[in-house]
Amino acid sequence: MVTMTPDEIRREVARVRWFHRIDLGNGIVTPGEDNTPEKLATLGMPDDLSGVSVLDIGAWDGFFSYEAERRGARRVLATDDFCWSGPGWGTKAGFDLVHSVRDSRVESKEIGVLDLSPETVGVFDLVLFLGVLYHMPHPLLALEHVASVTGKQLILETGVDMTWFRKPLMAFYPGSEAAGDATNWWGPNPAAVKAMLHTVGFRTVKVHSKLAAPRAIARSVKQTVSNRRIFMISRFVFHAWR
């Protein structure tokens, strides 16, 4: 463990472009673009994870990985590739800095979603799949891999579209149609998410929370005006059990 003074930590924090807002103590909070603590409050993650193994897929800066450790998880594995070394603007620098500052035991493995399997990472009691599904070109295939490494419970948070339809449907966003981001491929409606989760082997699937954050609404309004058609993306959290 390398001990840094608060001023040294601040200097290191300033060198990273952050997505997550992580409290490092001494009044230092990483300036992430995402209001991560607010998102945490919507997830329904158990307060006590004693004895539980946790896999955080698409960990990025690692907020949820380190939160699982803080809640007593027996083992936490953080995985990512797109944000750590892929074409995204993120890097692993933030994750590594938090790991050092906290003297963390969280493990990390650079691996893509479609390479996840019991052979490559193992099977975990609780799997977190947060803000990733709509970035996957092949969402059902991605969920097959996620299901294969989920031993008990999955917490999935994703953007959804067409929430007023009961029939499973997915909106396809070509180019940068969705919020100006070419990596936003799909907007499944809640019925589609539930149907896909059942299809890949989850017996029980529930909507845990629904939210249309102001930022999501603002983006939707902007896209609606620019494309001259209704464009609404909300965020839903699903809990699924094997």
- Residue 127: give its domain's CATH number: 3.40.50.150
- Percent of the chain exceeding pLDDT 90 equals 78
Position 136 pLDDT exceeds 90: yes
Pseudo-torsion of CA 40, 65, 110, 107, nearest 10°? 180
The pair of structure tokens assigned to 212 is 């249309």
Inside any domain, residue 28: no
Inside any domain, residue 223: yes
**pLDDT tens profile 186-240:** 999 999 999 999 999 999 999 999 875 555 566 566 656 665 555 557 889 999 9
Question: What is the domain count for the chain?
Answer: 1
Inside any domain, residue 114: yes
Q: How far apart are CA 22 and CA 99, in angstroms?
A: 11
* 176: confidence class by pLDDT, cuts 50, 70, 90: confident
16, exposed or middle or buried, with CB in 10 Å at 0-12, 13-18, 19+?
buried
Inside any domain, residue 34: no
Inside any domain, residue 138: yes
* 3-class state of residue 227 by DSSP: helix
* 3-class state of residue 123 by DSSP: coil
Inside any domain, residue 92: yes
b/e per residue 141-178 (b: at least 16 CB within 10 A): ebbbbbbbbbbebbbbbbbbbbbeeeebebbebeeebb
Tell me what pLDDT residue 223 has: 59
- Residue numbers of the domain that contains 122: 46-241
Distance of CA 121 to the CA centre of its chain: 18
Inside any domain, residue 23: no
Inside any domain, residue 17: no
Quote the pTM value.
0.92
The amino acid that residue 42 corresponds to is T
User: Which residues, in sequence order, are CB contacts of 208 under 8 Å at separation 6+?
Assistant: 42, 43, 44, 155, 237, 238, 239
